[in-house]
């Protein structure tokens, strides 16, 4: 290539220098590759461990995968092949180095040995990664690594597109997504054991209820909503949603024209209980006196075959009116009629005072500006909860506890007794479907009758949702005993942000604790920070499954879904936005 005619000494030396530089580079690269293959499992596992710690990978994934892969390598003799290949590459490098042809010898052998060494390198890398991750997670005191204070976990925020594109299920509702991005279902059979929903103002409780209601309405379930806020916009939203899905809707509000009659169905005893729920009785004597008289009233009204409503009952609380009706009865035995007349004539002052007190309480409702809504007139739109359930309607009663505070709690209590009567009738006739019952701002009409209702309604297919802002509201309505009864009789809890510390601590204790291993590490100051001295202790302890601070710091739309049956499970859920119903034209 370099003839005597055109060879320049300077050019030759420059060429020789480049050739030697290229050879040195190839030799260095060969030596580096040899070292890497010698330590490749540790190098790869170190890289994977760093990534795994940042991504919170589970050590068990890598430990089991590594064990399986390394076990598979043994019967095929791949470990022996790995070491033979490594020794062959090293031998080629040394032999070539002696002949000043290290790179040439090494790179000629490299492709043939590469594929033999790769399987073992991968298998051992995975296994070592799993062991590193296990020690870092469970026994960090045994590793000489820097010790840093734990970082606060960043909240997981799912995109709106993911939340709005969640699937629907036939036997329940998909509430939202958990921290891993998996759908969180809530099944009919679970909510048939009743649900407690709680959350401070603006925490997302109303949206959660709307998500649940949309699913029930879309799937054709009978729905009964009792709203203690009296929010007309919520009533209109439910009406539009029901109509969009082709469902019959009945809505009662103090400003509307739909009537409500809780006395269309039921035995005299059940009808009596509905009336008694309107009054709080401090003296058992007066309570028993009123109960006996009311039971007689409903017995006489049924014998007279009269349509019963609140106004009719009120008129019968005047003894003279009841006596006149008894005298007109034709389908009654003379002996029974005489007994009734004797009872009415023999009422003493105490009995009359009890009846008059109930009459005055009822008058607050019937003689108010909304009293006409409780007349069962022919041709008027009237809600009968039993008929609504059997016809699979959506019925909503919107009660304004602020504007009509004098009788709204009493009316709410009577509605709950009406629901209990409906449940009893369905148990006798045989349930046909799950019935969704939403009691929002439950504290406004909370009482013993509600606990009885949720206790006895499960067999009727009722799925009761007891919703309130704070546990303190329940406590104010019925004391700690009521709080315990509601919590104890609801299998599912949906807990949004809790602003009252006592509420957060109470609900945290309801979930309970689980056993953990508490690890301590001895450290010493180093130039690069606190380093483990590879000594420490491990002891068993118990930790709250949900710390109260977690409940206090939930963001808007986040909730803890707590289930006690079949297993004690807690899932942090980002609740989906309430789906928009289709247009009326789109519903077939």
pLDDT digits (tens, 9 = 90+) for 478-521: 778 888 888 888 999 999 999 999 989 999 988 876 565 556 66
Query: What pLDDT is recorded for position 129?
Result: 83
Contact 516, 544 (CB under 8 A): no
Asked, for residue 536, whether it belongs to a domain, the answer is: no
Contact 217, 245 (CB under 8 A): yes
Residue 428, token pair as written in the block: 């006798």
Give bridge partners of residue 515 from the DSSP assignment: 542
Query: What pLDDT is recorded for position 46?
Result: 77
Check whether residue 120 and residue 70 sit in a common domain: yes
Among 18-32, 40-54, 506-520, name the one with the lowest average pLDDT. 18-32
Q: Is the pLDDT of residue 309 over 90?
A: yes
Asked, for residue 306, whether it belongs to a domain, the answer is: yes
Query: What pLDDT is recorded for position 175?
Result: 95
**What angle (nearest 5°) sits at the alpha carbon of residue 319, between those of residues 313 and 323?**
95
**CA gap 365, 371 in Å, rounded:** 6
Query: What pLDDT is recorded for position 20?
Result: 47
Check whether residue 242 and residue 320 sit in a common domain: no
Asked, for residue 527, whether it belongs to a domain, the answer is: no
Residues 304-315, mean pLDDT to the nearest whole number: 92
- The reported pTM is 0.73
Residues 403-419, mean pLDDT to the nearest whole number: 85
| Confidence band for 398, pLDDT divided at 50, 70 and 90 | very high
Among 217-226, 392-401, 468-477, 571-580, name the one with the lowest average pLDDT. 468-477
**CA gap 182, 245 in Å, rounded:** 28
Residues 561-566, mean pLDDT to the nearest whole number: 86
Check whether residue 239 and residue 195 sit in a common domain: yes
Check whether residue 341 and residue 407 sit in a common domain: no
Contact 579, 541 (CB under 8 A): no
| Confidence band for 15, pLDDT divided at 50, 70 and 90 | very low
Query: What pLDDT is recorded for position 87?
Result: 62
Asked, for residue 99, whether it belongs to a domain, the answer is: yes
Check whether residue 362 and residue 385 sit in a common domain: no
Looking at 338, 366, 394, the residue that finishes a domain is 366
Check whether residue 110 and residue 179 sit in a common domain: no
Contact 453, 416 (CB under 8 A): yes
Q: Is the pLDDT of residue 414 over 80?
A: yes
Asked, for residue 314, whether it belongs to a domain, the answer is: yes
**CA gap 447, 273 in Å, rounded:** 13
Residues 267-291, mean pLDDT to the nearest whole number: 86
Query: What pLDDT is recorded for position 31?
Result: 53
| Confidence band for 7, pLDDT divided at 50, 70 and 90 | very low
Contact 268, 295 (CB under 8 A): yes
What is the percent of the chain with per-residue pLDDT over 90, rounded to a whole number? 36
Among 30-44, 363-377, 535-549, 564-578, name the one with the lowest average pLDDT. 30-44
Q: What are phi and psi of 559, to 5 degrees?
A: -150, 155
Query: What pLDDT is recorded for position 374?
Result: 92
Asked, for residue 580, whether it belongs to a domain, the answer is: no
**CA gap 126, 149 in Å, rounded:** 28
Averaged confidence pLDDT in the chain = 80
Looking at 366, 399, 415, the residue that finishes a domain is 366
Using alpha carbons only, how large is the chain's radius of gyration in Å? 39
| Confidence band for 5, pLDDT divided at 50, 70 and 90 | very low
Highest mean pLDDT among 71-80, 83-92, 478-487, 528-537: 478-487
| Confidence band for 525, pLDDT divided at 50, 70 and 90 | low
Among 170-179, 354-363, 443-452, name the one with the lowest average pLDDT. 443-452
Query: What pLDDT is recorded for position 517?
Result: 56
Asked, for residue 277, whether it belongs to a domain, the answer is: yes
What are the tens digits of pLDDT across the range 342-390? 999 998 888 888 898 888 888 888 998 899 999 988 777 999 999 999 9
Q: Is the pLDDT of residue 460 over 60?
A: yes
Residues 63-91, mean pLDDT to the nearest whole number: 72
Q: Is the pLDDT of residue 198 over 90?
A: yes
Q: Is the pLDDT of residue 292 over 70?
A: yes
Number of domains in the chain: 3
Check whether residue 566 and residue 428 sit in a common domain: yes
Residues 555-576, mean pLDDT to the nearest whole number: 90
Q: Which domain holds residue 361?
A: 268-366
| Confidence band for 464, pLDDT divided at 50, 70 and 90 | very high
Query: What pLDDT is recorded for position 12?
Result: 44
Looking at 315, 336, 366, the residue that finishes a domain is 366
| Distance from chain centroid for Cα 53 | 29
**CA gap 412, 92 in Å, rounded:** 91
Asked, for residue 276, whether it belongs to a domain, the answer is: yes
Residues 213-227, mean pLDDT to the nearest whole number: 96
User: Which phi-psi region, left, alpha or beta, contains residue 573 (left: φ > 0; alpha: ψ -120 to 50)?
Assistant: beta
Check whether residue 310 and residue 349 sit in a common domain: yes
Highest mean pLDDT among 73-82, 521-530, 551-560: 551-560
Q: Please give the residue that has the higher pLDDT: either 93 or 302.
A: 302
User: Which phi-psi region, left, alpha or beta, contains residue 276 (left: φ > 0; alpha: ψ -120 to 50)?
Assistant: alpha
Residue 215's nearest CA partner among 270, 168, 278 is 168
Query: What pLDDT is recorded for position 422?
Result: 93
Check whether residue 300 and residue 353 sit in a common domain: yes
Query: What pLDDT is recorded for position 364?
Result: 86
**CA gap 547, 541 in Å, rounded:** 15
Q: Is the pLDDT of residue 111 over 50?
A: no
Check whether residue 345 and residue 488 sit in a common domain: no
Supply the CATH number for residue 426's domain.
3.40.50.300
Query: What pLDDT is recorded for position 263?
Result: 92
According to DSSP, residue 372 is labeled G
Check whether residue 40 and residue 92 sit in a common domain: yes
Check whether residue 238 and residue 170 sit in a common domain: yes
Count of helices and strands (H, E) across the chain = 20, 15
Residue 199's nearest CA partner among 443, 497, 413 is 497
Q: Please give the residue that has the higher pLDDT: either 94 or 366.
A: 366
DSSP code per residue over 371-399: GGGG---TTS-EE-HHHHHHTT-EEEEE-
Collapsing DSSP to helix, strand or coil, 154 comes out as coil
| Confidence band for 18, pLDDT divided at 50, 70 and 90 | very low
Query: What pLDDT is recorded for position 190?
Result: 94
Query: What pLDDT is recorded for position 389?
Result: 95
Whole-number Cα distances in Å, 267 to 99, 296, 323? 111, 11, 21
């Amino acid at each position: 290539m370099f003839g005597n005619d055109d060879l320049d000494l300077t050019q030759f030396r420059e060429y020789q220098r480049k050739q030697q530089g290229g050879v040195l580079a190839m030799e260095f690269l060969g030596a580096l590759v040899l070292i890497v293959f010698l330590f490749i499992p540790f190098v790869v596992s170190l890289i994977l461990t760093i990534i795994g710690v940042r991504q919170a990978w589970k050590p068990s994934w890598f430990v089991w995968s590594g064990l399986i892969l390394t076990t598979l390598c043994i019967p095929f003799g791949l470990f022996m092949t790995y070491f033979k290949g490594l020794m062959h590459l090293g031998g080629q490098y040394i032999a070539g180095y002696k002949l000043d042809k290290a790179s040439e010898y090494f790179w000629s052998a490299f492709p043939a040995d590469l594929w033999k060494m790769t399987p073992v390198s991968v298998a051992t890398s995975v296994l070592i990664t799993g062991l590193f991750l296990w020690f870092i997670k469970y026994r960090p005191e045994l590793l000489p690594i820097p010790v840093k204070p734990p970082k606060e976990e960043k909240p997981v925020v799912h995109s709106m597109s993911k939340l709005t594109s969640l699937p629907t299920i036939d036997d329940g509702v998909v509430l939202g997504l958990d921290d891993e991005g998996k759908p969180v279902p809530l099944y009919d059979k679970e909510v048939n054991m009743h649900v407690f929903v709680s959350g401070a103002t603006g925490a997302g409780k109303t949206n959660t209820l709307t998500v649940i209601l949309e699913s029930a309405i879309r799937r054709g379930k009978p729905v009964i909503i009792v709203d203690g806020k009296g929010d007309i916009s919520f009533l209109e939203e439910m009406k539009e949603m029901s109509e969009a899905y082709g469902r019959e809707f009945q809505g009662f509000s103090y400003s509307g024209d739909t009537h409500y009659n809780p006395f269309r169905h039921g035995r005299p005893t059940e009808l009596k209980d509905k009336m008694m729920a309107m009054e709080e009785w401090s003296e058992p004597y007066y309570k028993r006196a009123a109960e006996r008289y009311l039971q007689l009233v409903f017995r006489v009204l049924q014998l007279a075959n009269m349509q019963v409503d609140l106004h009719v009952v009120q008129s019968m609380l005047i003894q003279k009116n009841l006596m006149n009706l008894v005298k007109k009865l034709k389908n009654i035995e003379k002996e029974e009629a005489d007994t009734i007349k004797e009872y009415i004539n023999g009422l003493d002052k105490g009995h009359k005072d009890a009846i008059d007190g109930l009459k005055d309480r009822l008058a607050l409702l019937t003689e108010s500006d909304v009293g006409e809504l409780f007349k069962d007139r022919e041709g008027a739109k009237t809600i009968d909860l039993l008929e609504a359930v059997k016809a699979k309607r959506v019925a909503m009663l919107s009660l304004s506890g602020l504007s009509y505070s004098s009788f709204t709690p009493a009316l709410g209590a009577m509605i709950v007794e009406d629901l209990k009567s409906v449940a009893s009738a369905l148990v006798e006739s045989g349930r046909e479907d799950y019935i969704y019952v939403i009691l929002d701002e439950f504290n406004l009409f909370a009482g013993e009758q509600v606990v009885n209702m949720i206790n006895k309604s499960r067999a009727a297919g009722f799925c009761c949702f007891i919703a309130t802002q704070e546990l303190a509201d329940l406590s104010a309505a019925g004391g700690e005993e009521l709080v315990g009864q509601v919590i104890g009789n609801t299998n599912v809890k949906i807990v949004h942000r809790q602003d009252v510390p006592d509420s957060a601590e109470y609900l945290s204790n309801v979930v309970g604790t689980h056993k953990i291993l508490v690890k301590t590490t001895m450290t010493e100051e180093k130039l690069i920070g606190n380093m483990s001295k590879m000594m420490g202790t491990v002891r068993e302890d118990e930790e709250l499954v949900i710390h109260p601070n977690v409940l206090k710091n939930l963001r808007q739309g986040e909730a803890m879904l707590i289930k006690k049956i079949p297993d004690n499970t807690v899932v942090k859920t980002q609740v989906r936005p309430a789906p928009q119903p289709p247009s009326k034209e789109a519903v077939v």
